């Protein structure tokens, strides 16, 4: 099951509507726009997605995601398994 880490620090469990894989539209809805993969090596079994235009949109810092990834991240972050997207 995926986790949505919001900028206010709340972590919510989310699941794809199909039960297996997230659609592009679902991924975009969770992060608030077009998404990008956050390069990281700390959690090789997980994929971290954020709004690719988060800095330009001046989204708020995501402290919990930044701590987990040891790098500054802005906006909501969706953490999924490799099996939950194509």
Percentage of the chain lying above the pLDDT 90 cut: 92
67-70-71-73 Cα dihedral, nearest 10 degrees:
-30
Q: Are 74 and 62 in contact (CB under 8 A)?
A: yes
Region 67-84 average pLDDT = 96
Q: What is the pTM of this model?
A: 0.94
Q: What is the pLDDT of residues 49-75, one digit of tens each?
A: 999 999 999 999 999 999 999 999 999
Q: How confident is the model at residue 85 (pLDDT cuts 50, 70, 90)?
A: confident
Q: Is 36 exposed, middle or buried (0-12, 13-18, 19+ CB in 10 A)?
A: middle
């Amino acid at each position: 099951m995926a986790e949505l880490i919001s900028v206010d620090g709340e972590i919510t469990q989310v699941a794809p509507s199909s039960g297996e894989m997230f659609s592009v539209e679902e991924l975009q809805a969770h992060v608030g726009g077009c998404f990008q993969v956050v390069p990281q090596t700390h959690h090789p079994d997980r994929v971290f997605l954020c709004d690719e235009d988060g800095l330009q949109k001046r989204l708020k810092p995501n402290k919990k995601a930044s701590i987990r990834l040891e790098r500054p991240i802005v906006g909501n972050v969706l953490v999924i398994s490799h099996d939950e997207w194509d």
